[in-house]
Structure 1
């Protein structure tokens, strides 16, 4: 589509996507350049576990939360606008559970799923749980907010912006959901068509289509808070 033919809404969405991608790439570049120093501090046993968690959360937020937050502030948009509401909550959660089924079946069939506990695959969780109150509560709350809420909600906002920029009349030909599904595979190193890649794509694409269908984003958020990083 020629730029001059774009609506004001489409142009704004395109600009928002540039901002989100730009902030994400800057954060990723900093993390890659200083990776050895960052990871050395993150794994330093003599440093406070809460401080290390906050330190890593800063980079994670830069990747999956800062961009959408900057755009929301710039546009004066409330996060509630993107589906954080009560309407159709039960429907959104139930349909989101359905899109997890292929991934769960694959996990059990291959022996990849043997344990379930939210965030237990995150390398700070065990240490935080052993730290005792209030450190454990504060640490897990940070993880749930940054690696749970914002990681899931980031997909919601980006998908919504892509759909504004490249609208489609079909709920299934959802460019935001398709793009986010492919992006998720790429950042997890899944190149090519495999059973695992297919089930992961179904999960990300499916949860975003559910959000589009119900108008409720809590299914996406809860997948990342209660399922992603919860199984191994």
Structure 2
């Protein structure tokens, strides 16, 4: 099969392997030293900004490092993957609309504990309670790593999968499907209870929906908006 691949597909194949290897290498390091790493995260005797950078290092290693390596290796700017101003508001609006089923799930499941962007990130509350300029710098780091890179990571990977495994369907592609499955597995959103299934479907709506919005609008900022304004906000 591989001898029939186009040049673009062969390049995408290599790019995906670079992303996979770099991601799993960082995951392996984290799992091996997990107890020590978490201890550093929770050590309040260390400056919160240092701990935020420490957490950001591992987060970036899992969602950001691989795509950055590929981008530099291919001399392929992120703008190629939808970071532009065309259809900006449409992209943001439609992508956030994809979050509606999950918002409904949170409310119906009585799990709403207030809204605050990035409150699901371990260091956010301490960062916000710290003084100026630590709080500004800490939140900027959080927004870049857990907002921009975690969201854009899905778009970049989806594009590479679609380059490697193109389809002719209008509302289905392997990139969006694979990224939806990846998100469910990584975040452990799997179960057989009705509420578990509802949550899983709601997450699929977010990931698959925002990627398809990028496909239709050509703009990826909607995905970034989802991870800045919605993901980790409940």
Shared fold (TM-score, shorter chain, > 0.5):
yes
Aligned to 1:99: 98
Residue 190 of structure 1 and its aligned partner are, at CA, apart by 2.1
Which blocks of at least 5 consecutive residues in structure 2 are unaligned? none
SS of residue paired to 1:113: coil
SS of residue paired to 1:36: helix
Aligned to 1:31: 30
SS of residue paired to 1:13: helix
Equivalent pairs counted in the alignment come to: 230
Aligned to 1:221: 224
CA contact (8 A) 1:171 1:213 kept: no
> How far, CA to CA, are the matches of 1:140 and 1:98 in structure 2?
25
Which blocks of at least 5 consecutive residues in structure 1 are unaligned? none
Q: 1:210 aligns with which of 202, 208, 213?
A: 213
CA contact (8 A) 1:171 1:212 kept: no
Mapping of residues 1-232 of structure 1, within 5 Å? 2-192=1-191, 194-231=197-234
Q: Say what the alpha-carbon RMSD is for the aligned residues.
A: 1.0
TM-score by length of 2: 0.96
> How far, CA to CA, are the matches of 1:171 and 1:57 in structure 2?
37
What are the Cα deviations for residues 120-174 of structure 1, in whole angstroms up to 9, with x where unaligned?
2222111111111000001111110001100000000000000000001113121
> How far, CA to CA, are the matches of 1:25 and 1:202 in structure 2?
26
What are the Cα deviations for residues 86-111 of structure 1, in whole angstroms up to 9, with x where unaligned?
00111111211221111111111111
